[in-house]
Amino acid sequence: MFQIRDKVMKRVIAPIDFSDKSYRLIKASVKLAQRMDVAVEIIHVIDSFEYGVNFVINEANPIFLPPNVLNDKVGKAQENFQKIMEELHKNIEQLPEIFMSVKTGFVFDVISEQLQDPEVVMVMLSDKSQADYNYRDISQKHEDIINETNCPVCIIPNEAPFNDPKNIIYATNYHHQDIDNIADIIKTASKVESKIHIVHITENNNYREQLTMQGLKNEIETKIEYKNIIYKIIESDDTVQGLDDYANSTDADRIAILRENKSLFQGLFGKNKTRKLVYKTNLPVLIYQEKRKNQ
């Protein structure tokens, strides 16, 4: 493994393959890390599968690539990293600490191992496809990554800007974890005075829904000192469409959701609806994972 800096620190991780979209992902990671006051770890995996090393990986059967192949790949990764750093210095003032790890193995296994580190505060992922913009979705591996981590995951569409947000939408289904998630968002949003739109999508905007939203508002105002919050109930029989329409009407810059560990019919955003939202919207989607009971 090649690593420019080996130090335990709170950080955002960005897995990249040095394709054309990699710089955009790194730039988005850097901007977010600046607001969070954390470091950025760029992870590049030399995928052993490309070299015919497709056997099962375990402690008794580690991966060994030919030294010439490994050294050449590591050298190219170093060169690419230095070019990226030069470009970042030209375009962004006061960069956070940025370092790179180059590892061998199967990409998902390597990233999953990184997710076990409690110092990782965010995982940044790009869309599955760059060549065909119309085929944007969370890949199966992205879904696995979301399942593996307890920290938020941010999916960045290939053509989406990632600037300091003016309007952030948080989709709520009145979950007890919402307060913590909103407080987490406000840590960075407050630095640029972003508006937080707390939105609930329902098929029937009745008096009970309004009372529930008012209860959430009262709890937030009791626990969080942030005045720039808008509360909205949207009546729609299509959760994803209703949220996307509201995002377009408010010029939203980002959408945040809680991906619940319940069935599709029990939660506002389960596995399938999360996938659908990422496919539907042109905005970055910040996905919080519902914490398990033993956490």
- By three-state DSSP, how is residue 272 classified? helix
Query: Is residue 270 pLDDT above 50, yes or no?
Result: yes
What is the number of domains present in the chain? Answer: 2
**Which residue, of 156, 177, 206, is where some domain finishes?**
156
Q: Are residues 136 and 172 in the same domain?
A: no
Answer whether residue 28 is part of any domain: yes
Structural domain ending residue among the three candidates 137, 156, 175: 156
Flag whether 187 is in a domain. Answer: yes
CA distances from residue 207 to 136, 146, 172, 204, 211 in whole angstroms, order as listed: 38, 35, 17, 9, 6
The pLDDT of residue 213 is 97
15: CATH: 3.40.50.620
77 within a domain of the structure (yes/no): yes
Structural domain for 92, as ranges: 2-156
Q: Which residue has the higher pLDDT, 54 or 202?
A: 202
- pLDDT, greater one: 142 or 110: 110
Q: Is the pLDDT score of 266 beyond 60?
A: no
Is there a single domain that holds both residue 82 and residue 172? no
Burial annotation 221-237 (CB, 10 A radius, 16+ → b, else e): eeeeebeebebebbebe
Residue from 54, 287, 100 nearest 185 by CA: 287
pLDDT at 68 over 80: no
Instruction: Examine residue 162 and state whether it is found in any structural domain, yes or no.
Output: no
Least confident of 20-34, 98-112, 121-135: 121-135
| pLDDT, mean of residues 261-285 | 72
Q: Quick one: what percent of the chain has pLDDT higher than 70?
A: 79
- Max Cα-Cα span within the chain: 69
Are 11 and 151 members of one domain? yes
